[in-house]
Amino acid sequence: MKLITLFTKNGAGLLESLGVHIMLVILSVLAGIVIALPLGIYLTRHRRAANVVLAIAGTVQTIPGLVMLGFALVLLGIGTLPALVVLSIYSILPILRNTYTGITEVLPAYTDAAKGIGMTKSQVLFKVELPLAMPAIVSGIRISAVYIVSWATLAGMIGAGGLGDWIWTGLATYNTDYILLGAIPSAILAFVFSAVIGAVEKAMTPRGLRRRS
Amino acid sequence: MSELLKAMGEHLWIVASSMVAATIIGVALGVLSYWRKKLGVFIIALAEIVQTIPSLALLALLMIVFGLGDLTLAIALILYALLPIIRNTHTALNELPPHIIDAARGMGMSRAQRLTKVEIPLSIPMIFSGIKVALVNSLSIAVMGVLIGSGGLGYIIYRGIQQRNMGRILIGAIPVILIALFFDWAMTKVQVRLSKHTNGV
């Protein structure tokens, strides 16, 4: 009950933070897609480069979020833009990895058949490989989005705005109200992103492949 | 230097003890969800939801309940570690070839005997791989423990951030990254070894 009045009292401010948070997530995941999708496709054509690039991306992923944001703070300063740069970098790997494995795991029987009926290279890519890899790619986007909701709260540290601001203020002043106001909506937001993209993932699976798993 | 070693020790100690607890709880829940399918769906869904909670939010919420300190960080690490361990235990047990379980049953083994003498030993490589994923994640999440008054390398990193001192951030960050890469590499090796023993099945 106390919780409800707490939320209604701060409704306007919270909605604004929620908007900023959603914007941060959408923009950085879009940036991740724009970079990772073509790169992933390129890597499937250059397997030797793939090992190197995926290893580097994997190493970047082990850098703790606090450290990356610390780098951004020192190098780029405070604000939404430095936060967006960090978040975009983080959103690349899951999409890249899933694009790569999604396409490489397309059975040769399908691509051979496609070549056999006279499809060009780009037709094979757009009409066979990408549609078959789409569930894996969308699943990568889902993993990215859930991560980014989490990293974005952390990015409150460098003044990104969003729901993280409330948690950081709460932690700094030991004010449980602020912590609840930031933490509960961000947890729900992560869950919503995961559920919505999960539904898209199901819808993207070609009909003929749906029953198998 | 001694400060750095002390922080590394704390970091590893918190992560290691959390992973031991997470393994015990996670394997137990994995077995439970293997025995009771319907309950299993519920357990895994719950662990998935916990996994999506942003780490800063979870830490802050746990701090409200458990206060500042190492214990709160350990609880957060355990919660995040549960999903990979439960899921891998559950998948490994479910993917065992039925003829092996039938053979064990035919020899007159009880359910507990089947579990401890046949099913768990054969599932160890996959359970181990779940522990690896959980551990590598935990090393990175544990850095945030500094925000709720816990020790470890996060303290050095956070002080560097507050002083806007790149060098100090790196002094704390490089060990974290190296330790994570080392465990990933070493545990993958062990995992390959382990699966050699069970491959004949």
Chain A contact present for B1, CB below 8 A: no
In a domain? residue B34: yes
Q: Is the pLDDT of residue B25 over 50?
A: yes
pLDDT score recorded for residue B2: 82
In a domain? residue B201: no
Token code pair at residue A55:
């290893």
Q: CB count, 10 Å around CB of A29?
A: 27
Secondary structure (3-state) at B163: coil
- Nearest C-alpha neighbor of B100 from the set B119, B128, B85: B119
Tell me the residue range of the domain where B70 lies: 2-196
pLDDT band at B9 (very low <50, low <70, confident <90, very high): very high
At A102, phi and psi to the nearest 5? -55, -45
The tens place of each residue's pLDDT in chain A, 213 residues long, gives 677 887 888 888 889 999 999 999 999 999 999 999 999 999 999 988 999 999 998 888 888 888 989 989 888 988 889 999 999 999 999 999 999 999 999 999 999 999 999 999 999 999 999 999 999 999 999 999 999 999 999 998 888 889 999 999 998 888 888 999 999 999 999 999 999 998 988 888 777 766 554
pLDDT score recorded for residue B143: 93
Q: pLDDT tens digit string along B46-82? A: 999 999 999 999 999 999 999 888 999 999 999 999 9
Domain-wise residue ranges, chain A = 11-207
- Among chain A residues, the shortest Cα distance to B53 is held by A187
In a domain? residue B21: yes
pLDDT score recorded for residue A213: 44
Q: With contact defined as beta carbons under 8 Å apart, do B176 and B140 qualify?
A: yes
Provide the mean pLDDT of chain B: 91
Q: pLDDT tens digit string along B126-137? A: 999 999 999 999
- In angstroms, the CA B179 to CA B181 distance is 6
pLDDT score recorded for residue A84: 93
Secondary structure (3-state) at A48: helix
Q: Cβ of A62 and B169 within 8 Å?
A: no
CATH of region A11-207, choose from 3.40.1360.10, 3.40.50.360, 1.10.3720.10, 3.40.50.1360: 1.10.3720.10
Residues of A in contact with B169 (CB under 8 A): 67, 70-71, 74
Question: Residue B51 sits in a domain of what CATH number?
Answer: 1.10.3720.10
Q: Which of A62, A70, A186 is facing B157, going by the closest CB pair?
A: A70
Chain B contact present for A76, CB below 8 A: no
pLDDT score recorded for residue A8: 80
pLDDT score recorded for residue B135: 95
In a domain? residue B144: yes
Q: Which of B53, B160, B177 is facing A63, going by the closest CB pair?
A: B177
Residues of B in contact with A184 (CB under 8 A): 57
The pTM of this model reads 0.88
Q: Is the pLDDT of residue B201 over 70?
A: no
Q: Which residues contact A64 (CB under 8 A, 6 or more apart)?
A: B140, B141, B143, B144, B154, B157, B173, B176, B177
Token code pair at residue B98:
């039925």
Q: Which residues contact B53 (CB under 8 A, 6 or more apart)?
A: A150, A187, A190
Q: Is the pLDDT of residue B197 over 80?
A: no
In a domain? residue B184: yes
- What mean pLDDT do residues B10-37 have? 95
Task: Work out the burial of residue B95: count CB atoms within 10 Å of its CB; fewer than 13 is exposed, 13-18 middle, 19 or more buried.
Answer: exposed
Residue to substitute from A6, A21, A24, A66, interface B, most B β-carbons within 10 A: A66
- How close is the nearest chain A Cα to the Cα of B52, in Å? 6
Which residues 49-68 on chain A approach chain B with CB closer than 8 angstroms? 59, 62-67
Task: Work out the burial of residue B159: count CB atoms within 10 Å of its CB; fewer than 13 is exposed, 13-18 middle, 19 or more buried.
Answer: middle
pLDDT band at B194 (very low <50, low <70, confident <90, very high): confident
Chain B contact present for A161, CB below 8 A: no
Residues of A in contact with B60 (CB under 8 A): 167, 170-171, 179, 182-183
- Among chain A residues, the shortest Cα distance to B57 is held by A183
Q: Cβ of A186 and B181 within 8 Å?
A: no
Instruction: Give Cα B137 to chain centroid, integer Å.
Output: 8
- How close is the nearest chain A Cα to the Cα of B174, in Å? 9
- In angstroms, the CA B186 to CA B92 distance is 21
Chain A contact present for B145, CB below 8 A: no
